[in-house]
């Protein structure tokens, strides 16, 4: 039996996909609780550079503290 994918929406454009303990966060932008969305993330995908899809301050802080995240 395959494991299911969980999708969690965090505000305007941000979603987190989880499967088998792995987490991908898409578009952690403004109007989002970015630290909560990024918790445990292994990968981050930004679709474009508008602020509502990338809140660069919290994302850069997270990446600096978690250099293994891509």
Work out how many domains the chain is built from and give that number: 1
Asked whether residue 33 is domain-assigned, the answer is yes
| Residue whose token pair is 């508008």 | 50
* Cα–Cα separations (whole angstroms), residue 3 to 6, 21, 22, 23, 40: 9, 10, 12, 14, 19
Asked whether residue 70 is domain-assigned, the answer is no
Asked whether residue 31 is domain-assigned, the answer is yes
pTM: 0.93
Q: How confident is the model at residue 20, as a pLDDT?
A: 94
The angle subtended at Cα 70 by Cα 25 and Cα 46, nearest 5°, is 45
CA distance 6 to 19: 6
Residue 11 lies in domain: 6-65
Would the pLDDT of 1 be above 70? no
Asked whether residue 47 is domain-assigned, the answer is yes
Asked whether residue 46 is domain-assigned, the answer is yes
């Amino acid at each position: 039996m395959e494991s299911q994918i969980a999708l969690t929406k965090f505000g305007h454009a941000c979603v987190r996909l989880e499967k088998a303990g792995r987490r991908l966060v898409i578009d952690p932008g403004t109007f989002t609780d970015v630290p909560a969305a990024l918790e445990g993330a292994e990968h981050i995908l930004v679709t474009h550079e508008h602020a509502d899809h990338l809140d660069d301050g919290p994302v850069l802080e997270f990446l600096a503290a978690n250099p293994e995240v891509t």
